[in-house]
Each structure stands twice: as C-alpha cells, then as structure tokens.
Structure 1
Amino acid sequence: MPKRRFDGCGGGGGGRGRTAKPPRRHLYLVLDDWSIGYSIRKIDLSSDFDSEDSDQLTAAHGPISSNGKRRLPSAVFRFQAQRGLPMYFADAFDSKIMAMHPITPGINGMLPWVPERLVPVFDVRMRSVIFGPRQIPDLDDPIYIPVGGRLFALSTGSFQLLYPPPGDNDESGSEEEEGWVWSWRQPPFKRKHVTAYTIHPDGRTIFISIKKRRSATTFTFDTAESALRDDCTWKQHGNWMLPFSGRAYFDSVLDAWVGLSRDSGTLGQLCSCDVVSTSPIPTLRSTICKELFVENPVMRRVGATLLYMGNRSKFCLVGCICIKDDSVDEIKDGYVGEMTDGSVGGANEDSVHEMNDDPVGELNEDYEMNDDSGMNDSKLEEQHVSPHSGYFLRLKTFFLMYDKNGDLKTGKHIQVRCYDVPITVSESIRKHPVAFWM
C-alpha cells in the first residue's frame, strides 16, 4: 500500500498575498436515459439566489414549456455501463465522478469501451476522462464515502480505500502506478445492516450506524489514525443510531449534521442532529423540518437525494415526483407543486427554470458510443420531451436555520426548478436520484 500521505488540500503553494478564487460549482445529474448507459448533465444553480427579478430570470433561462417544466440540458458526457445501478457512482477528489459498475460482457451486443480492469472517471473541471482501477471482485451494493483526498468503499465483507492519482505536477514517476490503488480492510459489521453514515467535523472520522433486528450500534473509523498505523481499527461508539437514512452532511453554521430522516413517522423529511463527540456516550438531539413536504393528493415523491452546497447552510433537494395519470392534464398550464410559502399551486414568479447547457462537444467525439439500434442524438433528445411520462425531477434550493424554539426551518426563499424525466430512465434511478454538487 502506498506510503505517500495525502492531506486532502490539493497540494501546491502559490504566490503570497493571493487567494485563489474557488471554482464555480454546478449540479451534475446522472441519468440512465441512454439505451446502453448513462448521461451526465450539468445544471447551473447559481442564479437561483442571484436575482429576485422574475423577468431577469426568464430572460436568462428562456421560456418554460407548455407543461410548466423544462427540458433537461444537453448531456456533457455519456458512457456505457449497466443501467439501473445508481449505487455504483461516487464523487471523489473534489471534481471527479466515478462510475464503478460491475463488469458486463457487452450491452446490446456491443463490446465494452472501457478495459475490464479500469473504470471511467469524469473530471467535471477539465471536461476530460481518466481511468481508475476497478475493484476486484466487483462490490455488492457498495457505499462510497469521500474523506478528504481519499475515497472509502464499504461493501459486503470489505472496506476498501482508494488513494487518489498523483497530481498533474507530480514528477515522481515511480509513484504513478501506486497512485490509484485499492487496499482491503475488513469491517466488523455487514453492509446490509448500515442505516446511515457521515463525517465528523474533524474531517477524518467516519460515523456509521447499523441496525440488526432490535439492536442498534454506531461505529467510528479514524481515517488519519488508521493510515498512520497502517491498519484498520473500527471502534464501537455506543448503542445508539444516527437519525438519518443514508448520507448526512456537517454544516458549520448550524453546528449539526443534516440529512433525510429514517424514522417511520418522518421518513424522508429533512432532519438535523447535534454533532456528537468522538468519545463514547454522546447526547443526541434531533429536529425535523417539515416545510419542504406539503401534502399534495396529485403528486407522490418517488425518491430524493440531498446535496450540501457549502457554507451558509445551503442545500439542494433533488426529488423525483410521480404525477397521477388522471392529473396530467391539470398541470399542462403550470406544474402543481409546493411554492416558497409552503402552499400548493401553479408555477409562479418564484419558480426558476433552466435553459439548455452547452452541447456535448469534442469530449463525446472520443468517448460517446453509438447505438447499433440506429437511434441518433436527435432521437435521444426527443425522449426528453414527454409531458405524459408521469415523472418529473424537482430541484429545490434553500437555506436552513433554527427558529427561536430551536427547531429546523428553511429560509425565506425556496427556489424550485422542474424537469421532465425521460421515459427511458429506470425505476432504480427514479427511486435513488444520482446527483453531485461540485
């Protein structure tokens, strides 16, 4: 295993007195709307809080469609992989989307375009593709956990660590081969029992909660300590559970973890939890935010993914919504949704709609596979316009805060964008939307 240590800071010095401007971030949406794989679409959310003028927003983003929802932006990248497997995507090393799907002999009779021992890694900053090492054997229902400059993968019977590749300015050719490497570490619990996971604000300790029958336990893993000692040491943190379902994020303003609730009475609602110490016997206090989840007899939420957008407690909730068949005609002149004041109604001036992004460009000339069925790009784009598909994606951007009673609430404005879901998108992707903020 590599001896070189990574501090997760990206390395490099720089001129004194200069502060590098952070790169502009976007939402990247992954859909299996391609017959032999996935597309990645780039959505700019920066204007959601840059303007309160609806005329200005309309001018910037273009008119809305007849059913009140926008067509998805054009794909910036497409790649071949087995469809319907959202769990094999990971965000890592700040700007990279990794697709670590199991090896398949070919899709629709086509030969795979990626060597069997490699996986494609799309760099959203460079708009380029590199290749990383495949996990052997293929993992079963993995959970990917980015921590600083490394990526951890928890699966049935294994806990693997991926070291990042050498930097562009790294002249040490001797370390190039070992730059991308998975090392094996055995967890003291089974993947199927995991209910929630998050990172402590110390930036190095992983918290994972498990539930087995009626017993509950939370484990911690100090990534820095384990790397220093070159071993894998899990510590049982107590017989309690994080109140989340899946991934939660730490927000420094709230001084709390934020995620989606796993409790049966508040399943899928926003939930915050006080950060516990890395020492045993913590005191847990959690609060629920119900403002984003107004009951609507016309719509049913199929699945949701919460994204943390950085400082000032800013989040984006990416939800897939199902519209009842007999209600499709009712939304032709404006989608039925939850407005910024929590009410239910048609599209109004607070709704923001996204224009098409840049075309695929030169990147797809090298890496996009052609479908033997004869479906060209124009036909692929036609699939994106299906007002009767019954599903749409709703992107809600908002700030979180505590009220005077200490309860979690949203800020004054909740910006909403809606997009038609292509009819070819699988049920698994609808239930577990794949989106990244980077």
Structure 2
Amino acid sequence: MSARLQECDEQRGKRMPKRGRERLYLVFDDWCHGYSIRMVNLLQHTAGSGHPAPVHFSEPFCRIMAPLVSYFTSAFGSKILAVFSRDPEADSESYFPMLDVRSRCVTFAPGQGCPIPPIYYLPVGNELFSLSFCSFEMLCSEELSPRLQDQSCGMGWSWKQLSEKPPFYVDNVTSYSLHPQERTFLFSTKTGATEATYTFDTEKRSWKLLGYWKLPFAGCGHFDLGLNCFVGLSKEPDTLGQLYSCEVPIYDTDDGLCPCPVVKLCKENLLSECPIDMHVGATLVYMGGKSEFCLVQCVSPDQDRMDEEDVAHGVQLPGRRFYCLTTSSLSFNKDKELTTGNNRRLQYYKVPKEATKPFLQDPVAFWM
C-alpha cells in the first residue's frame, strides 16, 4: 500500500463511526407528504437458509417532508440529504433537509436551481458536487447569517455554480466513483461504440480525459482498501447480480491517457435464487470492514403488467414487493480471481405498498 493511500485511509477512519454503530438506512416514497426512512441493524441478523419468511419493517426511523420529486444522497459523514429543485426567482427561500442519523438533528440547505435529470451527487470532504444535464454545482459550508443561526449549528450551506462544464453529455454516463485519495472523481461514458472515462480534480477544478475505456460496473462504484480496487454491481442481462472489481487507474501520468485498468468479474451471483422472485431492481451498499458489501434487491413474486407509461408516471406495482438483503465479503483467491465469502441471505422485508416502481428499481440505501 502506498504511503498516500495509507494516509487517506487513516483520515477516512477518523471520520467513520466506531465499528458496530453503523446501520442500513432505506428510503421509501411511501408517505403522502414525502418520504420515510427505515433503519435495519444488519449486525443483529443471523444467517438463514432457504427463503426466509417475509417480515415488516419496524416503524420509520424518521419521516422527511419533501416534494415527491426529490433526490437522496449521503454526505458529510452521517447526513442523509433530500435534495429537490427550486425556481430561483419564485421560490428563493426554499431549503432542503439534511438529517444526521447519529444526532437525529435536522439542518437545512438551499434547494438547487432546477437541475435536470440525470443527476449525480458526489461528496468530497465538506463539499458536495452535483452534476446534472444542465448544471454543475457545489454545495459548500459558510457562516450562517444571523437570520438562520441557532445554537445547534454554526455553519450554513450554499450552492455555487461551477464554470468547468464536463466534456461529455451527462445522459451518456454509465458509471462513476470517487478516487481513494478523495480529491478526484471519475465518470465513464458510452456513446454508440465509443467508451471514455474522465476525471475531475476538485482542487484544480479541471476535467481531464483519462482513457478510451469505461469502468465495468453500472452506476456508483465503491473503493475498497482491502482489495485496493473499485467494486460495483453489473446490471447487464448476462451478468446481472454479479460484482466487478476494477483496479485504480493511474490518472496523473505525464503522457495524458492511461491504459484500461485490470478488471475482474466475480463468478458468484448475489441475486435471489428463489424461482418465484421476479427481479425489480438492486443497489450495492459498501459496508467497509473486511471488504463487506450488502446487496439490497427488490423482488416481486407477482407478474408485473404495467406498461412504460405507468412506470413513467410513478404508479404503484400491483401485487407484493419485498426487499431481499444479502451480505457478502469479497476477496481474491489463490488464482487471483474475485470471489465472495460468508454470503448470508439475511431477511425478506415487506416493501410499503405505497412505494412506487421507479423508486424501487434503484433502491435508495445508505450504510452509516
């Protein structure tokens, strides 16, 4: 391990909660005024066999009143943010809630100025970057004005529009991740048969073409120090439910472009093996520790007969839906193949019937 990566890990460890305090937080759009957040203590679960009997979630950890067109992200340690857009002229006093799951304290930051999906949120230190179809913004802290200041919080937040526009169309993004030095993030794109990966240096405020290849997984990838690589979930039909690992590319070479890093595909599949479980969507959650991950999969044993127009309008799925939680630890075997160990099908949870399909196709889950 390089001294720089070791230093990054030590700094990251100081910001993380003590082992055993972490919980899985799941967000649902099941409330008429907004969203509910459910908490699951995975560390209390015991390994089960077969198809566990579905159970109900416990009462919501909290509810967040917000427009039912909001985007959730985690940032600043133990905070969950419910971000929604605003009209900067007609609704200049609009703020979105930031819930700290440790203190259960809610603070507020100004809403964004009408970003257009797709939207990607990347926390870097005490800043949150938001890249959307029409804007590139940064949420940063500032001293609170006297009007907003109180005894519970000494800092405020504001959005800053960045002039460094990305050198690609945001709707062509296939995957993204944060470099382990926590200064640079990577975006991969695909346009036709052309693949490319770009980096953005948050200190130099500059974009750079890294190479004509893309990160292998779909959506967000997680850097794991034990494996010294990025890990992400495949959503391609032939490999759906399998995990990819990707070595960290050397992005600061003198000659500009770097070769495609080494990629490995895990042979094991983490999706539910029950024949009646129809796959709806899945999210991979990084649990830290010894390369530990949790797959949050939404399944339905009933046939889905909705058409595309129904899905676009966010109608509810007919029949039953469940969240299947599976934890696993990754490692490289003696043949240097990526493999899973200690796979545990923990529990099936009954999804609130009010939750809509678009929200369940990419389950919103955080480990903190």
- Which bin holds the TM-score, normalised by the shorter protein? 0.7 to 0.9
Deviation sequence 1:295-344 (CA, Å, 0-9, x none): 54311211011111112101111110111369xxxxxxxxxxxxxxxxxx
Asked whether the equivalents of residues 157 and 190 of structure 1 are also in contact (C-alpha less than 8 Å), the reply is no
Give identity over the alignment, percent: 38
Deviation sequence 1:112-145 (CA, Å, 0-9, x none): xx98421111111111211001111344331111
CA distance in 1 between partners of 2:61 and 2:284 (Å): 22
Matched with 1:122 is: 99
User: Residue 162 of structure 1: SS of its match in structure 2?
Assistant: strand
Matched with 2:24 is: 27
| CA gap 1:195/1:139 in 2 versus in 1, 3 angstroms | same
CA distance in 2 between partners of 1:268 and 1:161 (Å): 33
Matched with 1:252 is: 225
| CA gap 1:75/1:92 in 2 versus in 1, 3 angstroms | same
Structure 1's unaligned 5+ residue stretches are 1-6, 13-19, 55-66, 105-113, 227-231, 327-387
* Greater fraction strand: 2
Matched with 2:308 is: none
CA distance in 1 between partners of 2:289 and 2:362 (Å): 25
Matched with 1:183 is: 161
CA distance in 2 between partners of 1:416 and 1:79 (Å): 27
Matched with 1:235 is: 208
The Cα of 1:183 is off from its aligned counterpart by: 3.2
2:185 to 206, 218, 226: 206
The Cα of 1:157 is off from its aligned counterpart by: 2.7
| CA gap 1:262/1:298 in 2 versus in 1, 3 angstroms | closer
The count of aligned residue pairs is 329
Deviation sequence 1:59-108 (CA, Å, 0-9, x none): xxxxxxxx81111111121122333x46x11101011111112349xxxx
The question of 1:159 aligning with 2:156 is answered no
The question of 1:265 aligning with 2:238 is answered yes
The Cα of 1:258 is off from its aligned counterpart by: 0.3
The question of 1:37 aligning with 2:10 is answered no
| CA gap 1:115/1:75 in 2 versus in 1, 3 angstroms | farther
Matched with 1:101 is: 84
CA distance in 1 between partners of 2:303 and 2:72 (Å): 32
User: Residue 336 of structure 2: SS of its match in structure 1?
Assistant: coil
Deviation sequence 1:178-204 (CA, Å, 0-9, x none): 743333242221210110001112221
| CA gap 1:296/1:137 in 2 versus in 1, 3 angstroms | same
Q: In the alignment, residue 44 of structure 2 is paired with which amino acid?
A: S
Matched with 2:299 is: 321
TM-score for the superposition, normalised by structure 2? 0.80
Higher mean displacement: 280-289 or 251-260: 280-289
Matched with 1:430 is: 360
RMSD: 3.3
Q: In the alignment, residue 222 of structure 1 is paired with which amino acid?
A: D
* Greater fraction helix: 1
CA distance in 2 between partners of 1:22 and 1:136 (Å): 38
CA distance in 2 between partners of 1:263 and 1:284 (Å): 20
Structure 2's unaligned 5+ residue stretches are 1-7, 305-317
Deviation sequence 1:9-51 (CA, Å, 0-9, x none): 69x9xxxxxxx95681111110011122110111111224xx6
Asked whether the equivalents of residues 243 and 262 of structure 1 are also in contact (C-alpha less than 8 Å), the reply is no
2:262 to 271, 285, 291: 285
